[in-house]
Structure 1
Amino acid sequence: MKRRYQVRITLPGGLLIAFTLAVALAAVNTGNNLLYLCTSALLGLMTVSGLLSFWNLALVRVEIEPPEEVFSGLPAPFRVRLYGPPFPVFFLHLQGEGGGLRCPYFRRQFEGKLFLKFPRRGRVPLKGLRISSAYPLGFFVRIRWIPLDLDLLVYPRPLKGGRFGARFLGSGEGASGPEEAPEDLWGLRPFREGEPAGRIAWRASALRGRLLAKEFRGEGGESLVLDLSQGFDEEGLCRATGAVLEGLSRGLSVGLRLPGLEIAPGRGPDQRRRLLEALACA
C-alpha cells in the first residue's frame, strides 16, 4: 500500500539543512548571539516552507474522467478537474501511468487533460494518481497519493495491414437474425459515387459542406468479416483492431470470428464497442 504523504529533500534543501547544522554547531561552540539568531532564522525558514508546502496540497481534490476509448501504447486523454481552497495553489504536478500534467497556478478550480499510456491491453486497474509540488522555495518536494480505483478496458493498439482470414461478403451475406425495415433510418455516411441521388441528405449536406447519404437499418451492403478463429498473436489482434476501425469508418458492415465467439456483421457505435471489447479480452 502506498503512503498517502511523502516528503523528499531536494539538493537546495539538503544544502540548507547542512548549512543550518553548521551554523548551529558554530553557535554552540562560540556562544555568539548573532549565530544563534541566524540559526533561529534558518530553522524558521524551513518550518514556514514545510507548512506552506503541506497546505498547498492538503485541500486539493481530484476528479478524473476517462475517455470512451483507450488503446494500448497510445496516449489517452483523461479529463482532470482539480478543486482547491479559496486561496491560490501553486506549481502542482499530476502524474499517472506514463504521463503527467503540470498546473502552475489555480484558485478554487482547474480543468485540463492528462494523457496516460498503458502498455498492455485488457482489464487494467488505475489505482490512483500522484500529485506533487516543490512550492514554495524548492527545498522540499511534498507528494500526495490520490486513490482512484478505476477499472479500465484497454483495447489493442490499432495497426494497419495483416494476413488474417479477412473476407468481404456481398450484399446481405453473413447477416444473422431478422432484418429491420429499410425505412428505419440509421444515420448518415459520406456519399459514394454511383449511388442514386435520392439517397442524398440535402439539408445535412448543406450544413456540413459535403455530400452525405442516408443509411437505413436492415439494408444490404458490403460486409467485412475478420476470421481469427484459427489462432492469433498480439500483433494479429492489433492489426485486426486497425481493420475494424478502418472498415467501420468506410461504412462497411464489420463482423468478427474468434475461438468460441462470433459477432455478426454490423455497423454503428454499439458494434464498434462490441468488436473492440472482444479483441481486448481475447
Structure 2
Amino acid sequence: MTESIVLERLSPARGDHASVSSLIRQRVYILPTRPGFLLCVAMFTMLLGAVNYNNSMAYILTFLLVSVFMVCMLHTYRNLAGLVISGAKVKPVFAGEMAGFPVIIDNRDGTPCPALKLVCHPSRKAKRAAQQSYQPVMVNLQASQWQQVEIPAPTINRGLLPLERVIISSCFPLGLFRAWSYIHLEEQCVVYPKPAGIDQFPAPVAAQEQGQEGVKSGANDFAGFRQYHPGDSIRNIAWKALAREQPLLVKRFSGDGSHTLMLAWEDVGHLPDIELRLSQLCRWILLAENQGWIYGLEIPGFQIDPAQGTLHKNRCLEALARYGIHHAD
C-alpha cells in the first residue's frame, strides 16, 4: 500500500510532520456553488429590503436563510475533513485498455460521509493524448466505514502510467457549497504492449540446434514428480496426488528443458518499428503461456531464462512494458 493522506479539519501547522502511517495533512477548500452565490444575492437583497422597510418578518426570514446557509457550509466542509485516503497495488493492463487505480477511502469519524466524488484531473498534455473524458466515481460512506474504489484512466501507449492528480469533492447536503481537496498518490500502472502480429512461433531452441521441428514441453515421457514452485503451470500439477492429501507436486517429463522457446529480439528484427516488435513478442508470450510452452525472453539489455507460469508471464510482459524506459526500481 502506498502513502496515506488525511484531509485535516484545520490548516496544517508549520513544521508539523505526520507520525502515524505516513499521514500527510492536506487542506480542504470550500466555495459557494452557483446556486449558493444566487442565494447570497437573494439574502443580501432581502436584507436591504428589511432595512429599508424596517420589516421584522423580512429580518426573521433573512436571518433564517443565513443560518441555513452557514450550517450548510459547515456540513459540506465536515463531509471531507478527516477522511484518510490511501492507495493500493495497481493491476497491469494492456495498451488501449482502461487502467484502474485503486483508492481506499477511510471514514474514521462517527458521522456518515455521503455524495463523495473522485475524479482524475490530468495535465492538459495527458488529456489531449488520451482523447477521452475521465469519468468520476461516486462514493457514499457510512460512519466508521472504509471503501475501495477504482479511478479509471485511459491508456494509449505501453510503459508506466502514473496516477495524475485526483480531486475529491462534495456538495452535500444542499448543493450550496462545494468542498474539495487534491490527492497526490505515488501510484503507477504497468501498461503492457498491445498484442499484435502473427501466431507462428520462431523455431524452438532444440529445433534450431538439431534442424528439426520443435516439440511442446510436456509431450515427452513421464519422468517423476517434483515440489511445486510458484509460477508453475497448473497443467502439470499432479491433481491425483493432491486428492490423496499429499503435498502439491508437479509432473516432470524427460524432455523438460530440451525443447524451449527463446523469444529473442532478432526474431522480430524484420519489423520496422520498436513498438511493433514489442507487440509481436507480447503476442508470442501470451500464446506460449496458453499452450504450455517453456519460453524465455531476450531483448537488448535484458534476458529472462526459460520457464512457464503466471509469474513468469507477468515478468516477461513487464520487461516489454519497461523496455527503453528509465526508471527507479
* TM-score strictly above 0.5: yes
Q: How does 1:206-221 map to 2 (within 5 A)?
A: 214=251, 219-220=256-257
| Structure 1 counterpart SS, 2:184 | strand
Instruction: Say which of 239, 247, 253 aligns to 1:201.
Output: 239
User: 2:288 — aligned with what?
Assistant: 247
Q: How does 1:148-159 map to 2 (within 5 A)?
A: 148-150=185-187, 152-159=188-195
Task: Give how far 1:183 is off.
Answer: 4.6
Task: Give how far 1:66 is off.
Answer: 1.9
Q: RMSD in angstroms over aligned alpha carbons?
A: 3.6
Stretches of structure 2 lacking an aligned partner (at least 5 in a row):
1-25, 123-133, 210-222, 324-329
User: 1:63 — aligned with what?
Assistant: 86
Contact 1:100 1:114 in 2 (8 A): no
User: 1:44 — aligned with what?
Assistant: 67
Instruction: Say which of 28, 35, 42 aligns to 2:51.
Output: 28
User: Aligned partners of 1:235, 1:276: CA distance in 2, in Å?
Assistant: 14
Task: Give how far 1:173 is off.
Answer: 6.7
* Change in 2 beyond 3 A, CA 1:200/1:104: closer
Instruction: Say which of 216, 230, 234 aligns to 1:189.
Output: 234
User: Aligned partners of 1:239, 1:31: CA distance in 2, in Å?
Assistant: 82
User: Aligned partners of 1:206, 1:12: CA distance in 2, in Å?
Assistant: 70
Task: Give how far 1:204 is off.
Answer: 5.1
Q: How does 1:131-150 map to 2 (within 5 A)?
A: 131-150=168-187
Q: How does 1:71-82 map to 2 (within 5 A)?
A: 71-82=94-105
1:88 aligns with 2:112: yes
1:121 corresponds to which letter in structure 2?
R
User: 2:219 — aligned with what?
Assistant: none
Contact 2:168 2:182 in 1 (8 A): yes
* Change in 2 beyond 3 A, CA 1:73/1:24: farther
* Change in 2 beyond 3 A, CA 1:255/1:99: farther
Q: How does 1:144-183 map to 2 (within 5 A)?
A: 144-150=181-187, 152-159=188-195, 161-163=196-198, 166-169=201-204, 183=225
Contact 2:233 2:310 in 1 (8 A): no
Instruction: Say which of 15, 33, 38 aligns to 2:38.
Output: 15
| Structure 1 counterpart SS, 2:289 | helix
Contact 2:91 2:189 in 1 (8 A): no
- Kindly provide the CA deviation profile for residues 260-280 of structure 1, in whole angstroms up to 9, marking residues without a partner as x: 434343213442233122211
Task: Give how far 1:251 is off.
Answer: 1.6
User: Aligned partners of 1:167, 1:8: CA distance in 2, in Å?
Assistant: 63
* Change in 2 beyond 3 A, CA 1:224/1:27: farther
Task: Give how far 1:47 is off.
Answer: 0.9
Contact 2:91 2:100 in 1 (8 A): no
Contact 1:173 1:223 in 2 (8 A): no
User: 2:215 — aligned with what?
Assistant: none
User: 1:110 — aligned with what?
Assistant: 146
Task: Give how far 1:165 is off.
Answer: 9.3
User: 1:194 — aligned with what?
Assistant: none
Report the TM-score when normalising by structure 2: 0.65
1:263 aligns with 2:300: no
Structure 1 stretch 235-244 or stretch 78-87: which is displaced more?
A: 235-244
1:10 corresponds to which letter in structure 2?
T
